[in-house]
Amino acid sequence: MFLEEIVAAVDRRATEWERELPAIRARAEQAPRPRPFREALLTAPQQVGVIAECKHRSPSKGWLTPSYDPVGQARRYQALGASAISVLTEPEFFAGDMEHLASVRAAVNCPVLCKDFVRRPVQVWQARSRGADAVLLIVRIIDDRSLFADLFAMVSELGMQALVEVHSAVELERALTVDPLLIGINNRDLDTFETRLEFSHQMAARIPSKVTAVSESGIQTAADVLGLRRAGYRAVLVGESLMRGGRLLEDLRS
């Protein structure tokens, strides 16, 4: 239910952006050079890179914090050792904004992921125009195989890296057709928003060793992270627990 509504809203917004494509492309061409996203994850001192997320609300959980300062949050994450920052930019369901992405990118030295529901090329241009170093591509919402390959190639051509997200073995097979460097296993079912951390453990053996595996959603503690590392994951994406004041980053440092 949530996903269909989100995708419909995303398509409406992308249609509006397409009318401004020349200006968006011009901004993208002037944006600062992308920072190496995957490399930042692989050189994390704890042997597990943490992508710490700035997110104001969730369709299933509501507001995650009474006041939202994405720049301040991102700076705290970086100071606590996060390898990269993820910024939710979807406005209607997550209260995100592309300006949050631009502001965070200007405030930190680590790479920044644009986390949105990308389905059209204009969205990739928009992410680059706001300084994104990496872009999330969700296999489930890109039905056209040719379009998926084109979006993946476009991310690379603009100097960014794609974190290709899947939530099933079938989606993983589709993702691997473009030979990605990064695969994100989302423990949250985007249709129901149910989250199961064990899903990452179930999928671990299916991910080729040459691919950097990232576990997303439902990660609460340092023990969760270390268990995922033993299963073969080199990075985790953590948002909700950190936005609610969780001490995962501090615990990993100690």
Per-residue pLDDT tens digits of the chain, which is 254 residues long:
578 999 999 999 999 999 999 999 999 999 999 999 999 999 998 789 999 999 998 877 778 888 899 999 999 999 999 999 999 999 999 999 999 999 999 999 999 999 999 999 999 999 999 999 999 999 999 989 899 999 999 999 999 999 999 999 999 999 999 999 999 999 988 777 788 999 999 999 999 999 999 999 999 999 999 999 999 999 999 988 898 888 999 999 87
The domain 2-253 is placed in CATH, from the list 3.40.50.10490, 3.20.20.70, 3.30.200.20, 3.40.50.2300, at: 3.20.20.70
- Residue owning tokens 């241009």: 125
How many Å apart are CA 216 and CA 167, to the nearest integer?
10
Task: Give the residue extent of every domain in the chain.
Answer: 2-253
Residues in the chain: 254
CA 166 from centroid of its chain's CA atoms: 12
Per the prediction, the chain carries an average pLDDT of 94
> Please, which residues bridge with residue 161 across strands?
134
DSSP sequence for 29-75: HHSPPPP-HHHHHHT-TTSSEEEEEE-SEETTTEES-SS--HHHHHH
Which residues participate in catalysis according to the annotation? Answer: 53, 55, 115, 165, 186, 216-217
- What is the pLDDT at residue 244? 86
Q: Is the pTM of this model over 0.85?
A: yes
- What is the pLDDT at residue 47? 84
With 0-12 / 13-18 / 19 or more C-beta atoms within 10 angstroms meaning exposed / middle / buried, residue 4 is exposed
